[in-house]
């Protein structure tokens, strides 16, 4: 990279670090802010220069479509279904029911979690908004059948054939599924009526 100026080196490093943390490439405005660059036009000029010299590829018709031309190790995680963050949703997280017109996988850096069976769920609703999980965000799940108080889980409610994303609490022989939004109330259920399917280990936010 001896032919690059310091600004271009910083941009490349920022893009790589951002991808490793979030699993997606940054926007031009995020690069501007993260690299302390005066304007987005300066960022765009340097990205075009980096692309011309073979350091990255960037599609102008798609946002967050910057790909570095280096070997960044990644892993594909299946998006198996939607999950409700609001009223429970009639989807069983055991089965791949995600059939929207989109890629059924999300590509993440392989250092996000040293687990072989991670999967992803697309959030529908806003009951976890105070935990910074919004509608259409994607949560990365680790398969689990038990949880500690305060952990965020995917819960299958077999009596209603519904699933929901909530914080788990167990007190007075009852399971509380607690939202992170004051507009919603907790669900209090008999333990036999709640099946834990996984715990949240990461979030990919829609921007």
What residues act catalytically?
127, 166
Q: What is the dihedral of CA 58, 123, 195, 177, to 10 degrees?
A: 130
C-alpha distances out from residue 142 to 102, 152, 154, Å: 22, 11, 10
* CA 145 to the chain's CA centroid: 21
C-alpha distances out from residue 104 to 34, 77, 96, 120, 155, Å: 30, 9, 9, 9, 21
């Amino acid at each position: 990279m001896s032919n690059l100026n310091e600004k271009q080196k910083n941009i490349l490093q920022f893009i790589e670090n951002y991808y490793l943390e979030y699993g997606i490439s940054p926007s031009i405005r995020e690069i501007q802010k993260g690299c302390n660059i005066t304007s987005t036009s300066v960022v765009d000029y340097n990205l075009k220069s980096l692309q011309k010299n073979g350091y990255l590829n960037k599609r102008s018709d798609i946002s967050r479509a910057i790909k570095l031309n280096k070997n960044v190790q990644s892993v594909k995680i299946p998006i198996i279904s939607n999950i409700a963050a609001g009223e429970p949703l009639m989807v069983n997280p055991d089965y791949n029911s995600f059939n929207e017109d989109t890629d059924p996988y999300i590509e993440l850096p392989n250092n996000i979690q040293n687990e072989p069976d991670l999967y992803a769920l697309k959030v529908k609703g806003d009951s976890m908004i105070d935990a910074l999980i919004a509608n259409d965000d994607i949560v990365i799940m680790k398969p689990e059948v038990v949880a500690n108080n305060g952990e965020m889980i995917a819960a299958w409610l077999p009596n209603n054939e519904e699933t929901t994303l909530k914080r788990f609490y167990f007190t007075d022989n009852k399971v509380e599924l607690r939202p992170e939004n004051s507009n919603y109330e907790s669900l209090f259920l008999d333990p036999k009526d709640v099946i834990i399917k996984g715990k949240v280990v990461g979030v990919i936010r829609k921007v």
